[in-house]
Amino acid sequence: MSTRNMGSVLKPTLYLTAIERLGLHPASMVTDSSVIVPIAGSRDWRPRNFSPQFYGTMPMKEALMRSLNTVAAKLILTVGPDAMINTLYRFNVHSEQRPNLSIALGATSVNVIELAGIGAGIANMGQTVDPYLIRRVEDPFGRVLEEHIVKRDQTFNPDDVYLLVDMMRGVIEAGTGRSVRRLGFELPAIGKTGTTNDYRDSWFLGATPRLTASAWVGYDDNRPMRDENGRGITGTTGALPLWTVFMKRATEGDPPREFSVPPGIRFVTIDPDTGEPMPNGSPGGLKVAIPTEAVLPDYRLLTMDRIADWDSLGIVMESWDQYVGIRWIDSPFYVPQIGPFRFMDDDSMDAFDSLLVNDPMDSIRVEDVTRPEVRQ
């Protein structure tokens, strides 16, 4: 089965990697600010959002809801691309993956069945299966000649996966995937949109506790997609409506069923500007799932999230393949907290998911990144 570039639809696997490797959770605070990575013998890698505006500090849950590329870039610089690739392979992705920093933005390929397998593993709280197309083969008399035996593995910690589920529910309720609700799908669900360069690929991955489906829209010859008004087809305007029509029919008559909450999870309401706890039901608060032992506010990533210009960079490296301790706040591009979070309208929210992932500079190798002088 052919593969295509993925765009932001793979970001949940990066977030799960950060949850596992760094102990982060939906209330962990991150910063949407400029990222500049020098590349040996070439121009800098500057992953960017669709919008030229930076939105400052926010919880990780909102960063995924907004599908922010700068936050994804900082996460991949912290955990390393090999860690994300390991997560993909644990979801039974068999397509070859290369350790590029830009894998964080979806500059890699899987097929639509592998993507559905990722969604199923998330919806099943880390229990993975190898996706298959043929359940069984029978002869004309109904005798079973061949039958696929499903093997289920508890590959991921359910507590870790539920933290991701909480963030992906936010995508459906108030993020780039909220058109699912506007189109009339009402069951509890998780989701993630994806759009690639020049609107060549439109993706949507979504699931209920009972059923997972992935959708892709694009041309075989990889040409851009535009509607009758010349507007690009995004994950929200292409694949998401197809997914919604299918899921409404496939789940017709299903009673509402919530995702299973593991015992190591509790729910709190936080101030999205500061990460501080708020009374439940407070206006402007954001409800998030966190580990029972988590202490709020969680600024751990912000202490790593600081960088001056590269001439005065302070960086701690265990090895070059594994960045740790990136610092961003002294950069002239750093944008501090800018006030209350406001959800954007559907069009502008969807624009954040239009990624530039096919540019040659979005396929850089870790070993090509200029090694800055380490200063104490």
Residue 235 · residue 171 · CB < 8 Å: no
What does the DSSP 8-state code read for residue 321?
A: T
- The token duo for 67 is 């599908």
- The token duo for 44 is 């800098």
pLDDT band at 140 (very low <50, low <70, confident <90, very high): very high
What is the pLDDT at residue 38?
77
Task: Report, at the CATH architecture level, how domain 4-177+262-343+353-362 is classified.
Answer: 3-Layer(aba) Sandwich (3.40)
The mean per-residue pLDDT over the stretch 141-154 comes to 93
**For residue 346, which amino acid is it?**
D
Q: pLDDT tens digits, residue range 168-215?
A: 999 999 999 999 999 999 999 999 999 998 999 999 999 999 999 999
Mean pLDDT of the chain: 82
Residue 316: strand pairing partners: 324
Residues 6+ apart with CB under 8 A from 121: 91, 92, 127, 128, 129, 155, 156, 161
Residues 6+ apart with CB under 8 A from 57: 29, 30, 31, 32, 273, 302, 336, 337
Residue 273 · residue 57 · CB < 8 Å: yes
What is the pLDDT at residue 113?
94
